């Protein structure tokens, strides 16, 4: 490599030497790999939940738990703006080498998360009604929904706060700590599931209780680790004056709107598939598993980039920020190519693992090319989402998502309705690609205008 670089002009040599500098690449992997491992434990936990409930005496237990859990998961997913803003702001505090700035991020975010969690407890009857309306099922399923939610909702203040605690630790580049806490919490959840349901015969309430206890343990562990790192720094009253709080509220509001726009597109994918037919729903459920597998790795790279870009912005080092983005893009591209290669070679075997229904395997064959392409198309938006979280540019993320939804996804979806499920997946792929292009283009604009560290 050195011989090849020596042939290049000096300026280009310096560019490639910095881009390929091993130390920065090791930092990306040092942060990304623990987050990938932590992400892997979440679907494994879902499998344990399903297995435990699936052994109860009646299909209605599994159906009711699935619906109630889906409602809770969607609420927490929409509230993911807490995690994103915490990561970006905490990373910038690390770049500033300021414990006070880190403490301000923690307290400014955790108080509204706790209050929102308490509000969800107060609104428990409404949540149960919504879940029963979504289920649109018989009385047995509705009873299971009510049993699950009446317990699970008590963990909401801690679950929402955990988004902030884990995001804060990622921003402070404590990925191994996050991995350890999440793995311990998920293992505890799985163990309690077995104990409370199979041994103590608590039924669906036992599954919900296990989740609440695990959320409490994660909350206590995360808060203790962070406060120790902050030397038990307390909160300051002036941090909550509107002048100082306004920027944080706006950042969270922008990311919330971004999440809602994304949720709209995902909802259309589900609803439109149901309108086409039950076979299409089953096909898309399997295809989404490929997307989830892809996200496990790409999210890990994105988390690393969030932390490193935020640190560079906090330290006011735009050139370092630029190269860290390019280095993250190299790893994201490499991982996307690896995913696509694996899917091309082993897609049939993966499908066989996910279903043993011959008719369903045959139905999914025409759609497998989308599976091959999605990693190559999607890794751009995963990576640049991480960049803009680190930059805490929520407005850009919001505008990009809404723009791509209204000018790309919706027109393609409606215009390609006669193509059925092919039209739906074409719209989704176009949406993913447009998100990457718009955020990437805006990043290049900020770089050329020397504005990467502004704001």
Tens-place pLDDT, residues 28-38: 999 999 988 88
Find the domain containing 336 and state its range. 250-455
The closest alpha carbon to 383, from 302, 283, 284, belongs to 302
If asked whether residues 320 and 440 sit together in one domain, one would say yes
If asked whether residues 224 and 296 sit together in one domain, one would say no
Compute the CA torsion angle 31, 37, 40, 41 (nearest 10 deg): -120
If asked whether residues 277 and 361 sit together in one domain, one would say yes
Q: How many CA atoms lie within 13 A of 16 on its CB side?
A: 13
**Which of the listed residues 186, 208, 240 is the one where a domain comes to its end?**
240
If asked whether residues 396 and 373 sit together in one domain, one would say yes
The closest alpha carbon to 108, from 454, 452, 392, belongs to 392
> Is the residue at 26 inside a domain?
no
Residue 1: per-residue pLDDT: 45
If asked whether residues 115 and 187 sit together in one domain, one would say yes
Mean pLDDT, all residues of the chain: 89
> Is the residue at 122 inside a domain?
yes
> Is the residue at 16 inside a domain?
no
pLDDT at 433 exceeding the cut of 90: yes
If asked whether residues 383 and 414 sit together in one domain, one would say yes
Tokens representing 289 are 């598993």
Compute the CA torsion angle 287, 290, 294, 299 (nearest 10 deg): 70
What's this model's pTM, rounded to 2 decimal places? Answer: 0.90
> Is the residue at 124 inside a domain?
yes
If asked whether residues 439 and 294 sit together in one domain, one would say yes
> Is the residue at 15 inside a domain?
no
Residue 6: per-residue pLDDT: 59
> Is the residue at 8 inside a domain?
no
Tokens representing 372 are 């091959």
Tell which wins on pLDDT, 409 or 45.
Answer: 409
If asked whether residues 205 and 116 sit together in one domain, one would say yes
Residue 282: per-residue pLDDT: 82
If asked whether residues 280 and 200 sit together in one domain, one would say no
If asked whether residues 50 and 171 sit together in one domain, one would say yes
If asked whether residues 224 and 278 sit together in one domain, one would say no
Choice among 119-128, 271-280, 297-306, 370-379 with the minimum mean pLDDT:
271-280
3-class secondary-structure state, position 241: coil
**Which of the listed residues 240, 270, 288 is the one where a domain comes to its end?**
240
pLDDT at 4 exceeding the cut of 90: no
pLDDT tens sequence across 268-321: 988 888 888 878 888 888 888 888 889 989 999 999 999 999 999 999 999 999
pLDDT at 240 exceeding the cut of 90: no
pLDDT tens sequence across 43-93: 666 667 766 776 677 767 777 777 788 888 889 988 999 999 999 999 999
> Is the residue at 275 inside a domain?
yes
**Which of the listed residues 213, 240, 267 is the one where a domain comes to its end?**
240
> Is the residue at 382 inside a domain?
yes
If asked whether residues 254 and 195 sit together in one domain, one would say no
Q: Please state the domain count of the chain.
A: 2
Measured distance CA(380)–CA(402) in Å, rounded: 17
Burial class (CB in 10 A: 0-12, 13-18, 19+), 304: buried
């Amino acid at each position: 490599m050195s011989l090849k670089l020596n042939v290049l002009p000096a300026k280009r040599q310096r560019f490639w030497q910095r881009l390929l500098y091993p130390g920065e690449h090791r930092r990306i992997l040092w942060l990304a790999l623990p987050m990938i491992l932590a992400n892997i434990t979440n679907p494994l936990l879902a499998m344990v939940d399903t297995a435990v409930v699936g052994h109860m005496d009646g299909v209605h237990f599994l159906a009711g738990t699935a619906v109630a859990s889906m409602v809770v998961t969607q609420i927490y997913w929409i509230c993911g703006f807490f995690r994103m803003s915490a990561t970006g702001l905490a990373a910038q505090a690390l770049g500033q080498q300021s414990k006070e700035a880190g403490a301000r991020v923690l307290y400014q975010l955790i108080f509204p998360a706790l209050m929102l969690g308490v509000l969800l407890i107060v609104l428990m009857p409404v949540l149960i009604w919504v879940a029963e309306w979504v289920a649109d099922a018989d009385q047995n399923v509705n009873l299971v929904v009510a049993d699950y939610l009446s317990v699970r909702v008590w963990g909401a203040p801690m679950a929402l706060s955990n988004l902030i605690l884990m995001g804060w630790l990622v921003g402070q580049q404590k990925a191994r700590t996050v991995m350890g806490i999440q793995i311990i919490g998920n293992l505890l959840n799985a163990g309690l599931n077995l104990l409370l349901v199979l041994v103590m015969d608590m039924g669906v309430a036992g599954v919900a209780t296990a989740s609440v206890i695990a959320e409490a343990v994660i909350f206590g562990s995360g808060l203790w680790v962070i406060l120790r790192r902050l030397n038990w720094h307390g909160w300051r009253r002036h941090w909550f004056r509107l002048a100082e709080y306004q920027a944080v509220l706006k950042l969270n509001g922008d990311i919330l709107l971004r999440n809602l726009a994304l949720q709209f597109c995902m909802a259309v994918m589900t609803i439109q598939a149901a309108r086409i037919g039950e076979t299409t729903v089953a096909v898309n459920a399997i295809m989404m598993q490929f997307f989830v597998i892809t996200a496990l790795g790409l999210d890990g790279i994105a988390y690393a980039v969030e932390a490193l870009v935020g640190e560079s912005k906090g330290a006011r080092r735009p050139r370092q920020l630029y190269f860290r983005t390019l280095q993250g893009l190299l790893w994201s591209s490499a991982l996307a190519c690896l995913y696509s290669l694996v899917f091309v070679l082993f897609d049939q075997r993966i499908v066989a693992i996910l279903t043993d229904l011959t008719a369903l395997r045959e139905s999914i064959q025409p759609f497998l090319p989308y599976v091959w392409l999605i990693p190559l198309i999607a890794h751009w938006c995963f990576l640049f989402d991480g960049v803009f979280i680190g930059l805490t540019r929520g407005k850009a993320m919001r505008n990009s998502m809404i723009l791509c939804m209204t000018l790309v996804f919706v027109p393609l979806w409606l215009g390609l309705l006669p193509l059925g499920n092919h039209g739906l997946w074409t719209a989704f792929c176009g949406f993913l690609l447009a998100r990457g292009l718009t955020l990437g283009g805006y990043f290049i604009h900020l770089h050329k205008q020397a504005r990467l560290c502004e704001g």
